[in-house]
Structures are given as structure tokens and as C-alpha cells.
A = this chain, B = another copy of it.
Amino acid sequence: MLQPFNDEYFMKKALEEAQKAFERGEIPVGVVVVINNQIIARGHNLTETLNDVTAHAEMQAITAAASFLGGKYLKDCTMYVSLEPCQMCAGALYWSQISKLIFAAEDEQRGYRKTGVKLHPKTQVKSGILADEASALLKRFFIEKRNLN
């Protein structure tokens, strides 16, 4: 059966990236950037591995997508990310003028919407796609982390 290219399909790809982060002991957040149904960038959180607070999945994917496109604006691109972006990543998305942001789980504590950060007026936002799967992975990570300490 052909797999349709819809929001769930691409969010699953973002969750596969989140799973990679999980397996590295990183807070499991994953992302893909899509243009015309083609994935042009993937990323997962690497802040611990790289010792770098800027190494969120979204930041890496913005850089990679711009590199693929040969231009810094992510026009006609959609970012699928498993968790609501933080204020840093939302700030980067603002500069990128990305066309669409779709996130799975909400981040009530550190999500950009709570901080007052604005995305670019050109950016449409949708949330909740595979939110339960994304939240379950995050919860499993923090439970395992707690049990290790």
C-alpha cells in the first residue's frame, strides 16, 4: 500500500529522529523539514553530545535546510517537530520566515507560546499531530533518567 504524504507521515519521521535522540541519552526531540513532500533536513537534539545548548533539533534542521536550498529563508517549507519549540528555536524560525510549523506535543513550561515569542507573520502553525506518541517518548525518557539517578 502506498504511504500517503500527509502530516502524520512526516511527523512519524520527526518521531524517528526523536527516537535517535532517546537512544543517545538526549531529551528526545526530533524534526524534519519538508518542501514539496520531500524531506530536505532532519535533526535530533544533540545538546549533551555536543556540549552545546544551541544544538536543539530545530536549530540544526534550519541550518541544514538553508544549506540544501542555498538561501537562508525557508519559503514553502514546513517544519515537523515532536515538541513545541522553545524561545530560542522559535526566534530562529522567526528569522527563517518558514511557511509552516507543525508540532506534536505542547511544552507548557518552556514552549515559545508561553514566553511571548512571536513567529514570523508568514508562518502558519498547527499542533497536536501525534502528540500522544511524542509525549509518551518524553515521559519514558524522564522516568528512565530519574531511575538512573
Contact B53 A72 (CB under 8 A): yes
Which B residues lie within 8 Å of A73 (CB)? 53
| Residue in B closest to A97 when the chains form the complex, CB atoms | B53
Interface size on A, residues (CB 8 A): 29
Contact bitstring A77-107, B, C-beta under 8 A = 1, else 0 = 0000000001111111011100000000000
Most B CB within 10 A of own CB, among A54, A70, A92, A95: A54
Contact B87 A54 (CB under 8 A): no
A115 touches B (CB below 8 Å)? yes
A117 to B111, CA, bound (A): 11
Which B residues lie within 8 Å of A89 (CB)? 88, 91
> A: which residues have CB within 8 A of B?
47-48, 51-54, 59, 62-63, 66-67, 70-73, 86-92, 94-96, 115-118
